Structure 1
Amino acid sequence: MKTQSFIRKGFFILTALCLSMGGQSCLDDDDNNLSLSHYYANALVTVKQSADNTPYLQLDDSTTLRPVNMASSPFGEKEVRALANIELADEAPQEYDKAVFINWIDSILTKPMAPNLGEEENNRTYGNDPVEILNDWVTIAEDGYLTLRFATRWGNGQPHFVNLISTKNPDNSYEVEFRHNAFGDTEGKMGDALVAFKLDELTDTQGETVKLKLKWNSFSGEKSAEFDYCTRKATNPQAQEVTAIRCTKKVK
């Protein structure tokens, strides 16, 4: 997959959209069993396929979920990170850890890491415009991905470009940098978005949990944060990342 894939800027206001589409039925009468809690994401998962192309969900580094109402993946054969609203199901989990019913599932942009081109070319290609990495439950390193919720300024509708590169730090092979190119669109209101980066280009941790250091250029200067990270066990090596547009504002 090309690294120059796009997502729309701004974090998708899922609640507002769902309420606009289905809120009326919730208020009509007691025959409708929908709960307001169904409108909110309660799980961040990786949508995968088993060897026989049966879809399943990876909830974290070790928990697998059998989606009882999903016979085929809505994302085809491709692996993707997604937000979902799920609830435990009474059916047998079979070879998985738990059986779940999916109320809804919505993919987020899933990308490979980009190559480090050297500082000058990195600035030219990937940019170094400021962002804020939000301390949120979806900002996490798990299942071989670094998923980030970030915020920046959006103004003229110009798509923004986001990437993750290795810093090539000789003293820390688990140091990465978030890069953001706003292409001059640096004015306007703050808004946020989600992106997930596959970390399979990093050195294998050999089953150990290490500290993954993330660096980024914030509105107040360079910042960093650490995540617990362990190389994920192989599942379906043929699966590919998928770019999914799920936001209401443009980013790339």
Structure 2
Amino acid sequence: MKRTVFAMLIASIFLVTGCLEDDDYYSLSDMWVGFGIFQETESNANGYKIVMDNDDLLIPVTSNFNVFHYVEDGDRVLVNYTILDDNSGEGEEATEYYIKLNSVKKILMKGILDVTEENNDSIGNDPINVIDVWMTDSLLNFELKYWGSSKVHFINLVKQSGELTGDSQPVELELRHNNNGDDESIPYKAFVSFNLGELEISGLDSVQFRVTGTDYDNEEFDYDGVYHYGENSD
């Protein structure tokens, strides 16, 4: 009898431990941060989903605020979230995550601007520090640092106007900053993403480009990249 009770007790311990491991796989105290695209949808009760840069799909289950007060369909976002569950099966990796959305921030996303005599001055030639740069499909992303006070600053990625051909490679791009005469008293950081779609050249599936800019020490920043739109376009 004692052996039977002991065996049942051991079995119960393993059962409880197994359940705890499954239920506690994601902790409510853990948070993830990442970039993605906000999309409105009718496929879930909250009316939106977030497609992350690595193609993971975040499906909101709960949040403490109305996300539609801050972002709208198609916006690029930086999100902080807690994973509650996922769609992984036995031997299969998760591709969808059911989350609590803790915060969302709209990230500036814009196209490439053609520089002309008319807009050259308004684009500005103020310095900008590049902390990081990376590509995500058709987006070229920057983490930037600049100094300011109270005025709105403008950041643009520009190229010379005119039709692009295969001989245009690498396409020369310039990161431009207009501080609008702001005082350089407070350091700021910002993220901005530029859509490279305007660099696509008919008959090619990729294009080489080079980005340059000038920082606050008057040193030149440069970045060489290849935009593979044949692979990235649906």
TM-score of the aligned structures, taking structure 1 as reference length: 0.60
| 1:43-100 CA-partner distances (Å, limit 9, x unpaired) | 111223469796332222x52314142699636652111111234443437xx92224
After TM superposition, the structure 1 stretch with the greater mean CA deviation from structure 2, 179-188 or 201-210, is 201-210
Q: Which consecutive residues of structure 2, in runs of 5 or more, have no partner in the other structure?
A: 1-26, 89-93
Alpha-carbon distance in structure 2 between the residues aligned to 1:207 and 1:56: 33
Q: Is the 8 A contact 1:43 1:59 kept in 2?
A: yes
Corresponding position of 2:14: none
Alpha-carbon distance in structure 1 between the residues aligned to 2:219 and 2:119: 18
Corresponding position of 2:9: none
Alpha-carbon distance in structure 2 between the residues aligned to 1:129 and 1:149: 17
Alpha-carbon distance in structure 1 between the residues aligned to 2:178 and 2:170: 24
Mapping for residues 95-244 of structure 1, pairs under 5 Å: 97-118=95-116, 120-135=117-132, 139-155=133-149, 157-167=150-160, 171-172=168-169, 174-203=171-200, 211-219=208-216, 220-227=218-225, 229-231=227-229, 232-234=232-234
- Greater Rg, structure 1 or structure 2? 2
**Which of residues 76, 79, 88 in structure 2 aligns to 1:84?**
79
Q: Is the 8 A contact 1:173 1:202 kept in 2?
A: no
How much has 1:214 moved relative to structure 2? 1.9
Letter in 1 for 2:57: L
Return the structure number with greater relative CO, CA threshold 8 A, min gap 6: 1
SS in 2 for 1:90: strand
Tell me: CA distance 1:113–1:107, structure 2 relative to 1, closer, same or farther (3 Å): same
SS in 2 for 1:134: strand
Regions of 4+ moved over 6 Å: 70-73
Alpha-carbon distance in structure 2 between the residues aligned to 1:200 and 1:217: 24
Tell me: CA distance 1:109–1:99, structure 2 relative to 1, closer, same or farther (3 Å): closer
Corresponding position of 2:49: 56
Tell me: CA distance 1:70–1:206, structure 2 relative to 1, closer, same or farther (3 Å): farther
SS in 2 for 1:130: coil
SS in 2 for 1:69: strand
Corresponding position of 1:65: 57
After TM superposition, the structure 1 stretch with the greater mean CA deviation from structure 2, 203-212 or 218-227, is 203-212
How much has 1:116 moved relative to structure 2? 1.3
Q: Is the 8 A contact 2:49 2:57 kept in 1?
A: yes
Alpha-carbon distance in structure 1 between the residues aligned to 2:219 and 2:122: 20
How much has 1:131 moved relative to structure 2? 0.4
Letter in 2 for 1:164: L
SS in 1 for 2:121: helix
Q: Percent identity?
A: 21
Report the count of equivalent residues: 192
TM-score of the aligned structures, taking structure 2 as reference length: 0.64
Alpha-carbon distance in structure 1 between the residues aligned to 2:56 and 2:86: 15
Bigger fraction of residues in helix: 2
Letter in 1 for 2:233: K
Q: Is the 8 A contact 1:82 1:105 kept in 2?
A: no
How much has 1:227 moved relative to structure 2? 4.1
Tell me: CA distance 1:106–1:66, structure 2 relative to 1, closer, same or farther (3 Å): closer
Alpha-carbon distance in structure 2 between the residues aligned to 1:109 and 1:100: 23
Bigger fraction of residues in strand: 2
Q: Is the 8 A contact 1:108 1:196 kept in 2?
A: no
Q: Is the 8 A contact 2:62 2:101 kept in 1?
A: no
